[in-house]
Amino acid sequence: MRNVINFKLLAAAALIVTAFSCKRSSNSSNTDSATGWAINDKQGGFQYNTKFEEQETPPGTVFVEGGTFTMGKVQDDPMHDWNNTPTQQHVQSFYIDEAEITNANYLMYLDYLKSVYPPENPEYTNIYYGALPDTLVWRNRLGYNEMMTENYLRHPAYGNYPVVGVSWIQAVEYASWRTDRVSEMTLQEAGYLERDSQYTAEAGSTFNTDTYINAPSRTYGGNDSIINPVKSRRRVQVNAKGDTINTYAKRESGLIGPKYRLPTEAEWEYAALGMSELRNYNIYRGRKKYPWDGQYTRSGSRATRGDQLANFKQSKGDYGGIAGWSDDGADITQEVKYYEPNDFGIYDMAGNVAEWVADVYRPIVDDEFNDFNYYRGNTYYKNEINDDGTVKIVQETVYDTLSNGKIVARVLPGEIATTEIDGDDTYLRTNFDRSDNRNFRDGDQKSSRYYRDNFEDGEDGKFDTRKMYNSPKHRIERDSASGEIIKEYDESSRRTSLINDEARVIKGGSWRDRSYWLDPAQRRYFPQDMATDYIGFRCAVSRVGSKAKNDKKTRN
């Protein structure tokens, strides 16, 4: 009997210890491990999302687990132009659009701009018209393409086709707008913003992600009814001093993710290759010429479409093949997701349209300096600060006149004003020493064709790369009296290159290209402020936190 009683006492004690341990365990995530102080206490103090598990997949994207791969390893190189020197690179995990941005996607962007910044108002005219794709790219002196010129962008028949006629600059502005709209939706769903507030937005009272993070009370023009909705689904918290807390979502909330942007060249190529199907332990078995497995553009299965695996130009005068089962299904572009995706689940990484990536073009990838998240094009800025220590909010639209005379909006009202970094920011730094790093290690004295000549910085102390790449320098000015734009061609016969700091890399073949360009390692360049009928784009988002989504399992 005594043994039974002792056993019951031990069992009860064990239950008490277990309950206590569970209680301690459940509260441990809300306690600072370094000080023992409470986190997220109702009395106030440090507020932090201790229940954050992992980044949600951003709308429209798929996850790409990063890793090491050989960049620039092409199967064919008939040009022999040093453009594809194989280099081993490591790419961090990221998200990339499942398909290219479509006409319907872009039309929503245009509709937003038109409603918030009415083009009939002279103050906003160039915001909307500066974002419009160039539909005249379809015209050809010896071809009848007026049907595409008039219909391709707006007709519903082409709604799910990739948008073209968009410059690199316009693609970047779209990605910025998309960031704000996704953040706005996320904060609405979390109860930090009034639902459907995007429909009441007007110029100067819109939502901007950076403004919300740095000066949340000044978003939507400081409209409290939107920023602090009365019918909020969140319970208002008051600390011991009587002040409300958790009024705004900070980065610590985990709700505001990284920005949408153009993928880097390394990211795009890695995602297009989809090498996961060739992975064998810690090596890749074999090589891939295209985003799909195999060395050919045809498939043996013709169940639902022609046997071509992508939309490209098969030969001179052959944009789709003979009508019937052997046809690739398109003469110009084709709707997105028509062809099979690669192993990452990404569509149209070969053919259909070539795509803008973030990088400034140079013939050689400088892997000797960096082999981790390689990217050429960094320009660093900082927020402008008012005399009272607050961030400066832009009140008037800032425009930029491009080399082709087109006017685009670069900064909209309600955004934070930025400026280049200065010596105070770079003093004794070893990782960067200037704002503009596009020509870093390329165009300096040692790499110049005129190394022995006197080499000076350009105007206003800005670094000049004219010694390295002697590209045409067309002039465009606005007459101060009449306001007219004056365009002048650079007719010098001494120009030796088209490469400059405004030339951006384009990747992937298009409906106009032969199969040679379908190889993900192939690379070309195009001026960032110009557009064509064969270049589109897709967006990417950086991954925060863990490299992989799932725990690794031992392979048998």
Task: Give the pLDDT confidence of 297-346 residue by residue, as tens digits.
Answer: 766 665 555 577 788 888 888 887 777 666 778 889 999 999 889 989 99
Task: Give the pLDDT confidence of 104-148 residue by residue, as tens digits.
Answer: 999 999 999 999 999 999 999 999 999 999 999 999 999 999 999
For 302-361, the DSSP string reads -SSS-SBSS----BTTBSS-SSSTTS-S-SS---TT-SPP-TTS---SSSSSEEEEEEEP
Choose the most confident range, by mean pLDDT, from 149-163, 361-375, 383-397: 149-163
- The whole-chain average pLDDT of the chain stands at 84
Separation between Cα atoms, residue 122 and residue 59, nearest integer Å: 34
Token pair for residue 199?
């429909």
| 296 vs 414, residue with greater confidence | 414
- Rg of the chain on CA atoms, in Å: 28
**pLDDT at residue 286, rounded to an integer:** 60
| 95 vs 285, residue with greater confidence | 95
Label residue 286 exposed, middle or buried (CB < 10 Å: 0-12, 13-18, 19+): exposed
Nearest residue to 166 (alpha-carbon basis) of 533, 518, 517: 533
Task: Give the pLDDT confidence of 162-195 residue by residue, as tens digits.
Answer: 999 999 999 999 999 999 999 999 999 988 998 8
Token pair for residue 316?
């001179």
SS3 readout for 230-265: CCCCCCCEECCCCCEECCCCCHHHCCCCCCEECCCH
Are 234 and 227 contacting, i.e. CB atoms less than 8 angstroms apart? Answer: no
| 86 vs 244, residue with greater confidence | 86
Kindly indicate the confidence band of residue 18, based on its pLDDT and cuts at 50, 70 and 90: very low
Are 508 and 349 contacting, i.e. CB atoms less than 8 angstroms apart? Answer: yes
